Amino acid sequence: MSKEKLTLYVDQKTSRMVHEVAGSLGKSVPELVREFIVKMHQEIESAEISPSISKWVGILKTKKRYKYLRDQRTM
- 14-48 in b/e burial notation, b at 16+ Cβ within 10 A? eeeeeeeebeeeeeeeeebeeeeeeeeeeeeeeee
- The domain in which residue 50 lies consists of 12-73
Q: What is the mean pLDDT of residues 23-43?
A: 92
User: How many structural domains are present in the chain?
Assistant: 1
CB atoms within 10 A of CB 49: 15
How far is residue 75's CA from residue 53's CA, in Å, rounded to a whole number? 19
Q: What is the pLDDT of residues 42-66, one digit of tens each?
A: 877 766 667 777 677 666 677 777 6
Is 61 a domain residue? yes
Global pTM reads 0.56
Looking at the domain assignment, is residue 7 inside a domain? no
Q: What's residue 49's pLDDT?
A: 67
The answer to whether residue 57 is domain-embedded is yes
Q: What is the pLDDT of residue 42?
A: 83
**Which residues does 28 contact at the CB level (< 8 Å), separation at least 6?**
22
As a whole-number percent, the residues of the chain with pLDDT over 90 amount to 45
